[in-house]
Chain A
Amino acid sequence: MTSMERVLTTLSHREPDRVPLFLLLSLHGARELGLTIEKYFSRAEHVVQGQLRMLERYGHDCIYTFFHASLEAEAWGGCTIFREDGPPNAGPPPVTADAIASLTPPRVEDVPCLRRVLEAQRALRQAVGEAVPVIGVVMSPFSLPVMQLGFDHYLDLMFDRPDLMQRLMELNGAFCADWANAQLAAGAHAICYFDPLASPKLIDPLLYRRYGAPAAQKAMAAISGPTATHLASGPCLPVVDDLAASGTMMVGVGGEEELAAVKNACRGRLTVLGNLNGVEMRSWDEGATLAAVKGAIDAAAPGGGFILSDQHGEIPWQVPEATLRLIGEAAREFGSYTGTGGRD
Chain B
Amino acid sequence: MATSCYSGNAADHLYSPPVLLLEAALVSMDRLAVRQIYDHSGLSPLSFCEQVIAPALSVIGEKWDRGDLSLSHVYMSGRVCEEFMEQVLGGRSDCVDERRRVALAVLEDYHLLGKRLVGFVLKGAGVPYLDYGTVSAQELVRRVQRDGVRVLLISALMLPSALKVREVRDALDRLGVECRIVVGGAPFRLDPALHREVGADLSCDTASQVLLALGQLREGES
A residues in contact (CB < 8 Å) with B: 81, 83, 85-87, 89-93, 146, 150-152, 155-156, 158-159, 200-205, 207, 233, 235, 255-256, 277-280, 282-283, 316-318
Q: Is B186 an interface residue (CB 8 A)?
A: yes
Residues of A within 8 Å of B158, CB to CB, are: 86-87, 89
Residues of B within 8 Å of A81, CB to CB, are: 108, 110
Q: Is B24 an interface residue (CB 8 A)?
A: no
Give the CA-CA distance A31 to B45 in the complex, in Å: 56
17 contacts between A and B (CB under 8 A): A89-B108, A89-B109, A150-B110, A155-B72, A155-B76, A158-B72, A201-B64, A202-B70, A202-B72, A203-B70, A204-B70, A204-B73, A233-B186, A279-B187, A279-B191, A279-B194, A318-B163
Give the CA-CA distance A83 to B159 in the complex, in Å: 11
Q: Which residue of B lies closest to A316 (CB)?
A: B159
Q: A89-B108, A156-B79, A207-B70 are in contact. List 14 more A-B contacts (CB 8 A).
A: A83-B108, A89-B160, A90-B110, A151-B113, A152-B112, A155-B72, A155-B75, A200-B67, A203-B72, A204-B72, A233-B186, A279-B194, A280-B193, A316-B159
Q: Which residue of A lies closest to B190 (CB)?
A: A279
Check B186 against A159 for contact (C-beta < 8 Å).
Answer: no
Interface size on B, residues (CB 8 A): 28
Q: Which residue of A lies closest to B29 (CB)?
A: A159
Give the CA-CA distance A108 to B75 in the complex, in Å: 34
Check A89 against B191 for contact (C-beta < 8 Å).
Answer: no
A226 to nearest B CB, angstroms? 29
Check A280 against B190 for contact (C-beta < 8 Å).
Answer: yes
User: Is chain A's binding surface mostly helix, strand, loop or mixed?
Assistant: loop
Q: How many A-B residue pairs have CB under 8 A?
A: 83
B85 to nearest A CB, angstroms? 17
Check A93 against B110 for contact (C-beta < 8 Å).
Answer: yes
Check B190 against A277 for contact (C-beta < 8 Å).
Answer: yes
Ordered nearest first, which 6 A-B pairs have the shortest CB separation? A86-B160, A151-B113, A279-B190, A279-B191, A204-B70, A202-B71
Q: Which residue of B lies closest to A277 (CB)?
A: B190
Check B160 against A83 for contact (C-beta < 8 Å).
Answer: yes
Check B71 against A233 for contact (C-beta < 8 Å).
Answer: no
A150 with B29, Cβ < 8 A, contacts A203-B70, A280-B190 known: no
B residues in contact (CB < 8 Å) with A: 29, 64, 67, 69-73, 75-76, 79, 108-113, 116, 158-160, 163, 186-187, 190-191, 193-194
Q: Which residue of A lies closest to B163 (CB)?
A: A85
Residues of B within 8 Å of A202, CB to CB, are: 70-72
Residues of A within 8 Å of B67, CB to CB, are: 200-201, 235, 256
Check B190 against A159 for contact (C-beta < 8 Å).
Answer: no
Check A151 against B190 for contact (C-beta < 8 Å).
Answer: no
A230 to nearest B CB, angstroms? 15
Q: Which residue of A lies closest to B160 (CB)?
A: A86
A152 with B110, Cβ < 8 A, contacts A201-B70, A279-B194 known: no
Check B76 against A151 for contact (C-beta < 8 Å).
Answer: no
A197 to nearest B CB, angstroms? 9
Residues of A within 8 Å of B109, CB to CB, are: 89
Q: Which residue of B lies closest to A78 (CB)?
A: B110
A283 to nearest B CB, angstroms? 7
Residues of A within 8 Å of B29, CB to CB, are: 159
A261 to nearest B CB, angstroms? 12
Give the CA-CA distance A155 to B113 in the complex, in Å: 10
A265 to nearest B CB, angstroms? 14
Check A318 against B116 for contact (C-beta < 8 Å).
Answer: no
Give the CA-CA distance A205 to B71 in the complex, in Å: 11
Give the CA-CA distance A204 to B28 in the complex, in Å: 11
Residues of A within 8 Å of B69, CB to CB, are: 204
Q: Which residue of A lies closest to B116 (CB)?
A: A152
Residues of A within 8 Å of B116, CB to CB, are: 152
Give the CA-CA distance A93 to B67 in the complex, in Å: 28
Check B159 against A86 for contact (C-beta < 8 Å).
Answer: yes
Give the CA-CA distance A146 to B109 in the complex, in Å: 13
Q: Which residue of B lies closest to A199 (CB)?
A: B70
